[in-house]
Amino acid sequence: MNLTLKIWRQKDSSSKGQMVDYKVTDISEHMSFLEMIDVLNEGLVSKGEEPVAFDHDCREGICGMCSMYINGEAHGPDRGVTTCQLHMRMFNDGDTITIEPFRDAAFPVIKDLVVDRSAFDRIQHAGGYISVNTSGNTQDANATPISKHAADTAMDAATCICCGACVATCKNSSAMLFVGAKVSQYALLPQGQVEAADRVKNMVAKMDLEGFGNCTNTGACEVECPKGISLDNIARMNRELMKASI
């Protein structure tokens, strides 16, 4: 495939960015989207030009780093996949593909397609953990019975990879799907009960402080989430917050 790429280039967080056109040729339909950008970058480097900066780590849908906007959608046109799992067979020869960083005030651009998503880390630090005795006499995990439904639902919530696609997609830049998933994975389990009230209050307060917006229930975040995190988690977070507040 031969493609035209329109890519956001921005030197650093304080510089003004712009879309720049590039051509790539002989792209295999079996390549991943990131491999296609690798091909572009090899060409740029061989010409002595600055390669396009983008985040990636695992390249297998686990780390949540490869966040970018492709043709107006977080992680591109496929469903249930991250950008690193997006294959070039989703595109056609001759296509023009627009590639931009996630655009949210809480995720400032660092360079080109790389944004600073450390606001998510700070929300996690505010309550996304449990305190357990690790002194050597820790209770065996299997000693606490958990219903299959609770275990499955908590596991589903725990599959959130902190990619930020929900925020990038939400018209309000809301982080509620992310925070809802993180609150839910503990709220559903007995181990999460001790700190449940403080957890939800602190994480929601931090989310607001970091500048994320509110949820108006459009459901767009659920559609674009690569891990299929359900809107039920936002409802559960709101219930947990209500419970903690009274």
Residues of this chain that bind ligand SF4 (CB under 6 A): 160-166, 169-170, 172, 174, 176-178, 181, 215-221, 225-227, 229, 231
Q: Which does 56 bind (CB under 5 to 8 A by kind): ligand FES, ligand SF4, none?
A: ligand FES
Judged by CB, which is closer to ligand SF4: 46, or 216?
216
Residue the block writes with tokens 């992680």: 75
Please name the residues in contact with 116: beta carbons below 8 A apart, sequence gap of 6 or more: 13, 107, 108, 109, 110
E strand map for 60-215: 69-70, 73-74, 96-100, 109-111, 114-115
> How many Å from the N-terminal Cα to the C-terminal Cα in the chain?
59
Q: How far is the CB of 177 from ligand SF4 (least distance, A)?
A: 4
Report the Cα 120 to chain-centroid distance in Å.
9
By the rule CB under 6 A, 204 interacts with ligand FES:
no
Among 29, 49, 57, 198, binds ligand FES (CB under 6 A): 57
Stretch that binds ligand FES, among 14-22, 23-31, 58-66, 132-140 (CB under 6 A): 58-66
Stretch that binds ligand FES, among 1-9, 40-48, 55-63, 96-104 (CB under 6 A): 55-63
Task: Measure the CA–CA gap between 122 and 163, rounded to whole angstroms.
Answer: 14
| Subset of 74-103 contacting ligand FES (CB under 6 A) | 82-84
Task: Measure the CA–CA gap between 222 and 68, rounded to whole angstroms.
Answer: 17
Give the interface with ligand FES as residue ranges (CB under 6 A).
Answer: 56-59, 61-66, 82-84
